[in-house]
Amino acid sequence: LIPRLASDSPGELEEFWLRAASTLNVPQILADTLAREPPETRREFRQLLSIIRGRSGGLLLIGRPISFQKMSPAQREQALFAMANSNIAKLRQGFQAIKRLTTFIFYSAPLPDGRDNPNWPVISFAPPPPPPATPKRLHPLAITHDMKLDTDVIVVGSGAGGGVVAAELAKAGKSVIILEKGGYYSESDFTGREAEMMPKLYLKRGLQSTRDLSVMLLAGSCVGGGTTVNWSTSFRIPDEVRLEWENSLGLSDFGKDLDTHYASVEERIGVNLEHSKTPNPSNLVIERGCTKLGYHWEMIPANANHCEGRCGACGYGCPYSTKQSTMVTYLQDATDLGARLIVNCSVDRVLIERGTTTGVSATVTDPTNGVRYNITIHAPRVVIAAGSLHSPAILLRSGIRNPNLGRNLWLHPVAAVIGFYEDPIRSWEGSLQTRYSDQFAHADGDYGFKFEVAPAHPGLIGMTVPWENGRSYKALMLDAAHVAPMIVLVRDRNSGRITLDRHGEPIVDYPLGTYEKRMLMLGMQHGARVHAAAGALRVGTLHSRPLLFDTSPDMPEERWKKYDQGVIERGLQPNRSIIFSAHQMGTCRMAGNMRQGVINNDNLVWDVRGLYVADASTFPTASGCNPMLTIMAIAHRAAQAILAGM
């Protein structure tokens, strides 16, 4: 994948071409990473290696019965490219598993002696400055033995939903315990370095995906959950979504007072437009391109203040406390009022006796030595806010049998369309999301897609840039500083499902529906035109069979046909292109009746007393906009309902 390549370029550049993955200790880091995966994943990986190691693998991939080790470098590249584009889904999946890990490590990991990744200077990446020393303001409970505790309310998860509920209940004088599976990292821990922060702050150390690897799932797992790592975009749901929720799911009261809840949350997390007044070059692409084409674009409201675009590493936690995550707002309020926070604490199940909630059982793992402690907490009320992937898993493990549980998973699937610009873009610098376009938000009735931009640091760029052979891949990486990644964020209609594996962990299945594929492709087609109008010299997609296309600002529509055709021909079968999701929604959805949902209008699980859900999993359908603010408003609303029932 990343071989040693001859070059007549001078100095650092020659070293870059000569640098193979093996010289950066990538195989060992990859092995260490896989060692932390469940046995099933390791078994699958070994099976994959044994296929490509065998002579039949050679026959399958390059039409010659030779094992991978015996192939010439050129044959190996041919074999890998064949794997990436194979008609056998498992081979494409295998290629993605190897490529994503290898390239992420190669472009993000430090040297064994701690020095910076040597690839950074040639791609013009400078890591953010070290975080200023800031004292830790939360004080999680130290757990050093098995224990039993009592409280009024247990809140499971400290993200967008959990943080708000915990604070609102603590404000009302209730005794609250917040249980968070992830660790507590705060400002002075946020180095902005991908290889270091990804495993600490993200679910499954950043490796969460759908079962077939076809959608990469980004979700926070730390104190503050997604709000610690997210990009600050703070939208209210569009009116048509609110109507859809009220009219099709028997939630006629849903919208009542919702604006009051939004307003309260917006005030606490300081949503403002001021932050977006200084767009970075990536966001300016949307402004310039959409203005030129006469398309809609607007500034994005954000829950960040006085950011001044100092670093651009918000995806790895804000070292300056300017992003108003739940860690610096609601969890601070809750713990100041006496709420207890337990971290590295995974809730195994809710305890339910004769239809009434009595508490939870959980496991605390000491991150320094792996020692585990069992804790049982008794409470008459439990609020599950573990996010759309884990909330249904906890309820399934607790024996809830509602057939809707785990179903109706929406992901807002995202494809990127990239533009190459003459001037540097450095998508890793400045405020992440400040411009969006809803030009195609109603491409299909109330459904369609948004254009936004995504920040990309070297590891993420390495993971996603198409690989055709070692040389073309590195040549693309050399352009990294000049690439603007625009994203097509689709409001999905079709949904996926969460089930449990044999260890009780969630398995995510999400086949892209025909409508979602059509929207993603339409987005890639029109996004390229926005790039061209903004002055991109070349545009491209993230398909495994690269689609790169030279452009000019006033290119006639006739010429676009070839590019449009390229998008359609490559298609969106699993693992033929990179698809992301940072917005997991649904799986415990709210509905006015038990036939359609898992919780009622008051966030109470149907048929169980004292058990509530208050996070993204409650969404009745996909929100059609970045969900954080709506999750918080729903959690704020849920807190009032819980208090009313106490």
Ligand X SMILES: Cc1cc2nc3c(=O)[nH]c(=O)nc-3n(C[C@H](O)[C@H](O)[C@H](O)COP(=O)(O)OP(=O)(O)OC[C@H]3O[C@@H](n4cnc5c(N)ncnc54)[C@H](O)[C@@H]3O)c2cc1C
User: Which residue, 377 or 520, is less far from ligand X as judged by CB?
Assistant: 377
Size of the site for ligand X (CB under 6 A): 43
The nearest distance, CB 201 to ligand X, in angstroms, is 9
Per-residue b or e along 622-639, where b marks 16 or more CB atoms closer than 10 Å to that residue's CB: bbbbbbbbbbbbbbbbbb
Return the residue of 269, 350, 394, 572 that touches ligand X, per CB under 6 A.
394
Looking at the annotation, which residues are catalytic? 583
The nearest distance, CB 584 to ligand X, in angstroms, is 7
Return the residue of 138, 166, 364, 386 that touches ligand X, per CB under 6 A.
386
User: Which residue, 160 or 488, is less far from ligand X as judged by CB?
Assistant: 160
From 587, 620, 602, 631, select the one nearest 161 (Cα to Cα): 631
Contact segment (CB under 6 A) with ligand X among 220-228, 333-341, 466-474, 516-524 equals 220-228
Under the criterion CB under 6 A, does residue 533 sit at the interface with ligand X?
A: no
385 close to 155: Cβ distance less than 8 angstroms: yes
276 vs 301: CA distance, rounded Å: 7
User: Which residue, 581 or 601, is less far from ligand X as judged by CB?
Assistant: 581
| Dihedral sign for Cα atoms in the order 483, 489, 494, 499 | positive
The contact mask relative to ligand X for 313-332 (x = CB under 6 A, - = no) is --x-----------------
The contact mask relative to ligand X for 278-317 (x = CB under 6 A, - = no) is -------------------------------------x--
* Residues in 366-385 at the binding interface with ligand X, rule: CB under 6 A: 385
User: Which residue, 99 or 583, is less far from ligand X as judged by CB?
Assistant: 583
Quote the strand ranges of 293-443, DSSP E: 298-299, 340-342, 345-353, 356-365, 372-378, 381-384, 409-410, 414-420, 435-436
Under the criterion CB under 6 A, does residue 416 sit at the interface with ligand X?
A: no
Q: In Å, what is the CA distance from 480 to each residue of 19, 91, 380, 475, 577?
A: 17, 28, 54, 9, 19
Contact segment (CB under 6 A) with ligand X among 38-46, 402-410, 438-446, 620-628 equals 620-628
The nearest distance, CB 638 to ligand X, in angstroms, is 11
User: Which residue, 162 or 459, is less far from ligand X as judged by CB?
Assistant: 162
Query: How far out from the chain centre does Cα 324 lie?
Result: 19
Under the criterion CB under 6 A, does residue 194 sit at the interface with ligand X?
A: no
The nearest distance, CB 470 to ligand X, in angstroms, is 30
User: Which residue, 434 or 541, is less far from ligand X as judged by CB?
Assistant: 434
Q: In Å, what is the CA distance from 109 to each residue of 29, 116, 316, 399?
A: 9, 8, 15, 42
Is 310 buried (19+), middle (13-18) or exposed (0-12) by CB count in 10 A?
Answer: middle
Return the residue of 57, 131, 159, 566 that touches ligand X, per CB under 6 A.
159
Under the criterion CB under 6 A, does residue 402 sit at the interface with ligand X?
A: no
Question: What is residue 328's DSSP assignment?
Answer: T
User: CA-CA-CA-CA torsion for 188, 189, 195, 198, nearest 10 degrees?
Assistant: -120
Under the criterion CB under 6 A, does residue 408 sit at the interface with ligand X?
A: no
Would you tell me how many other CB atoms lie within 10 Å of the CB of residue 592? 18
Pairing of strands 580-581, 216-217: parallel
Return the residue of 58, 496, 535, 627 that touches ligand X, per CB under 6 A.
627
575 close to 83: Cβ distance less than 8 angstroms: no
Tokens of 242: 């609110």
Return the residue of 92, 181, 482, 517 that touches ligand X, per CB under 6 A.
181
Return the residue of 94, 127, 128, 157 that touches ligand X, per CB under 6 A.
157
From 612, 645, 617, select the one nearest 630 (Cα to Cα): 617
Which residues are within 8 A (CB) of 9 and not within 5 positions of it... i.e. 6 or more apart? 16, 17
Return the residue of 68, 125, 185, 231 that touches ligand X, per CB under 6 A.
231
Per-residue b or e along 402-431, where b marks 16 or more CB atoms closer than 10 Å to that residue's CB: bebbbbbbbbbbbbbbbbbbeeebbbbbbb
540 vs 418: CA distance, rounded Å: 5
Would you tell me how many other CB atoms lie within 10 Å of the CB of residue 370? 7
Tokens of 131: 């975080």
528 close to 417: Cβ distance less than 8 angstroms: yes
Under the criterion CB under 6 A, does residue 156 sit at the interface with ligand X?
A: yes
Is 562 buried (19+), middle (13-18) or exposed (0-12) by CB count in 10 A?
Answer: exposed
User: Which residue, 117 or 630, is less far from ligand X as judged by CB?
Assistant: 630
Return the residue of 83, 304, 628, 634 that touches ligand X, per CB under 6 A.
628
Under the criterion CB under 6 A, does residue 214 sit at the interface with ligand X?
A: no
Contact segment (CB under 6 A) with ligand X among 9-17, 139-147, 153-161, 478-486 equals 153-161
The nearest distance, CB 86 to ligand X, in angstroms, is 30
Under the criterion CB under 6 A, does residue 456 sit at the interface with ligand X?
A: no
Return the residue of 329, 404, 464, 626 that touches ligand X, per CB under 6 A.
626
Under the criterion CB under 6 A, does residue 233 sit at the interface with ligand X?
A: yes
Return the residue of 96, 221, 280, 322 that touches ligand X, per CB under 6 A.
221
User: Which residue, 96 or 584, is less far from ligand X as judged by CB?
Assistant: 584
481 close to 424: Cβ distance less than 8 angstroms: yes
The nearest distance, CB 221 to ligand X, in angstroms, is 3
The nearest distance, CB 425 to ligand X, in angstroms, is 19
Under the criterion CB under 6 A, does residue 390 sit at the interface with ligand X?
A: yes
User: Which residue, 551 or 584, is less far from ligand X as judged by CB?
Assistant: 584
Return the residue of 160, 285, 599, 613 that touches ligand X, per CB under 6 A.
160
189 vs 135: CA distance, rounded Å: 10
Under the criterion CB under 6 A, does residue 387 sit at the interface with ligand X?
A: yes
Which residues are at the interface with ligand X (CB under 6 A)?
Answer: 156-162, 179-182, 218-222, 225-227, 229-233, 315, 345-347, 385-387, 390, 394, 433, 582-583, 615-616, 626-629, 631
